[in-house]
Structure 1
Amino acid sequence: MPDPISSPQNPRIKALVRLQQKSAERRQQGLTIIEGLRELTVARAAGVAVPTVYVCPELLSAAGRQELQQALAPETEQFEVSKAVFEKVAYREGSDGVLALARAPQRRLQDLALPANPLLLVLEAVEKPGNLGAVLRTADAARADAVIVCDPRTDLYNPNAIRSSIGCVFTVPVVATSREELLAWCRQHGIRTYAAALTPKAKPYTDYDFRGPTALVMGTEADGLTPELMQACDETIIIPMRGYIDSLNVSTATAILTFEAIRQRG
């Protein structure tokens, strides 16, 4: 292993900071940053290529070091960094001393290998990485077939989305697309679309049968679904609210609808 990196001005460290802070840099290089041994282990188990890993010996335990070596491919470059340097590039508190460069999977709708009866989660214009990450955890837990993001306002492999999903962004097929492409693709594959929206024609989600090919379509917390996407969906559904508020966090609402679909499917 090369000598430890102790200067924040090291070109490799500067490049890491740019990747962490700039989505354009991540897109251009096709790379993202994974922080944390657990997230890295999940990504490697999902087959994600990890060309480079940075380790802070002061933060990573001996058991963690052994687990890391078992997860990495033999060709992965490894560098040790000082605690001060690691804290410069880390994006969360209490990190365990592992940070990796990973190749972000690139998928299109056409790349999805769907089963005969798919269950899809659709997010429109998601802008908070934390919400995206939470939905991905739900998708992984429910074994949903894909998460599709229409017109995203955050990149799918934002380091904070990786963190909040605990690496599930790598275990669930994720695709970014446009509203028009999504609707045409769903029609082509016979997938029924259910828009979650508070409208006069919406019916409780328990009134519907989600056992067929299903896409649960969710909007942003601030604005909900755009009228164009809402009107183009086959059905409009609501989660009945019994208190004073009329909506839930989008990740919570997605979890409720997803597990109702799973319950119906047995």
Structure 2
Amino acid sequence: MKEITSIQNAYIKNLLKLQEKSRERKKQGLFLIEGKREISLAIEANYEFDTILFDSDLISEQKVLTLFDSTINYIKISREVYQKLAYRDSTEGLIAVAKSKDFSLKNIQFSNNYPLILIAESIEKPGNIGALLRTADAAKLDAVFIANPKGDLYNTNIIRSSVGCLFTNQVATGSSKEIIDFLREKSIDIYSATLQNSNEYYKEDYKKATAIVVGTEATGLSEIWRTEATQNINIPMQGKIDSMNVSVAAAIVIFEAKRQRGFKI
């Protein structure tokens, strides 16, 4: 089994590029996953792995070999190399190099006639995207669409903040127009969270095929989502501000939709 002990190793330097640069992830079709839980969720989602790196002081070689297919490349790394690659100390000494998937709308399949979908437009902060993916997983949504994405979803910070929920959700990306066309083709109602020309969210019926759309806290949704919506919705607030964290707002509306569909809260 190959062993790497130096952070100056060319392969390790390339992995650091994959961590830091979206361009390299897209060019090579690879990305990094850190931690047993996140890697296990990627396995369940049928991701293919190129290489498994492990710190044998934290996880035994025997344990690693029982977790993965024998055809995968394995590299034993030193503590120094592991600490250079790892974002946190609590990931059990395990890092996977995985092959990217295509987040195209054409790959989306619904298992029922009344899907419930979350759409997030132009969200920049990885932490917010991660929180939205966790909310979607908690509610067991049928899909999450990222409209007009500001980066690629294999950003290490998104994987980490989503606690691996990037792999537990059915995810697609596209322009706002492409996603709206998809929704129209599938006869899915659009409920856009915005203050303009809106009704209180709890007054709407989400039992039909439904897409709930949220935008950035700073600028909200673009005009196309406001004008193409089946209905614009708002969350009444009693304080002095008129906005809240996007993942919190999404969760409020999503779980109202789940309540209407018979989920007991």
Q: TM-score scaled by structure 1?
A: 0.93
Q: What residue is the counterpart of 2:186 in the other structure? A: 189
Q: What residue is the counterpart of 2:48 in the other structure? A: 49
Question: Structure 1 residues 224-233 or 201-210, which shifts more?
Answer: 224-233
Structure 2 CA distance for aligned equivalents of residues 218 and 137 of structure 1: 15
Asked if structure 2 preserves the Cα contact closer than 8 Å seen for 1:109 and 1:175, the reply is yes
**Regions of 4+ moved over 4 Å:** none
Report the CA distance between 1:42 and its aligned residue: 1.0
Q: Secondary structure at the match of 1:51?
A: strand
Residue-pair matches, total: 261
Report the CA distance between 1:65 and its aligned residue: 6.4
Asked if structure 1 preserves the Cα contact closer than 8 Å seen for 2:50 and 2:72, the reply is yes
Asked if structure 1 preserves the Cα contact closer than 8 Å seen for 2:51 and 2:98, the reply is yes
Letter in 2 for 1:73: D
Identity of aligned residues (%): 43
Report the CA distance between 1:185 and its aligned residue: 1.1
Q: Alpha carbons of 1:17 and 1:70: their partners in 2 closer, same or farther (altered >3 Å)?
A: same
CA deviation map 1:219-252 (0-9, x unaligned): 0122111123222212111111122222111111
Asked if structure 2 preserves the Cα contact closer than 8 Å seen for 1:49 and 1:103, the reply is yes
1:215 and 2:214 correspond? no
Structure 1 CA distance for aligned equivalents of residues 88 and 216 of structure 2: 25
Structure 2 CA distance for aligned equivalents of residues 194 and 125 of structure 1: 17
Structure 2 CA distance for aligned equivalents of residues 93 and 76 of structure 1: 24
Q: Secondary structure at the match of 1:100?
A: strand
Q: What residue is the counterpart of 1:113 in the other structure? A: 109
Q: Which runs of 5+ in 2 are unaligned?
A: none
Structure 1 CA distance for aligned equivalents of residues 75 and 183 of structure 2: 45
Structure 2 CA distance for aligned equivalents of residues 71 and 265 of structure 1: 38
Matches within 5 A, 1:1-266: 1-2=1-2, 4-60=3-59, 66=63, 68-114=64-110, 115-199=112-196, 201-266=197-262
Report the CA distance between 1:152 and its aligned residue: 0.4
Q: Alpha carbons of 1:125 and 1:79: their partners in 2 closer, same or farther (altered >3 Å)?
A: same
Q: Secondary structure at the match of 1:122?
A: strand
Structure 1 CA distance for aligned equivalents of residues 150 and 95 of structure 2: 25
Structure 1 CA distance for aligned equivalents of residues 100 and 135 of structure 2: 20
Question: Structure 1 residues 218-227 or 16-25, which shifts more?
Answer: 218-227
Q: TM-score scaled by structure 2?
A: 0.94
Q: Secondary structure at the match of 2:191?
A: strand
Structure 2 CA distance for aligned equivalents of residues 140 and 197 of structure 1: 24
Structure 1 CA distance for aligned equivalents of residues 5 and 103 of structure 2: 37
Report the CA distance between 1:93 and its aligned residue: 4.4
CA RMSD of aligned residues (A): 1.5
Asked if structure 2 preserves the Cα contact closer than 8 Å seen for 1:126 and 1:154, the reply is no
Question: Structure 1 residues 162-171 or 69-78, which shifts more?
Answer: 69-78
Report the CA distance between 1:107 and its aligned residue: 3.0
Asked if structure 2 preserves the Cα contact closer than 8 Å seen for 1:59 and 1:95, the reply is no
Asked if structure 2 preserves the Cα contact closer than 8 Å seen for 1:44 and 1:71, the reply is no
Q: Secondary structure at the match of 1:185?
A: helix
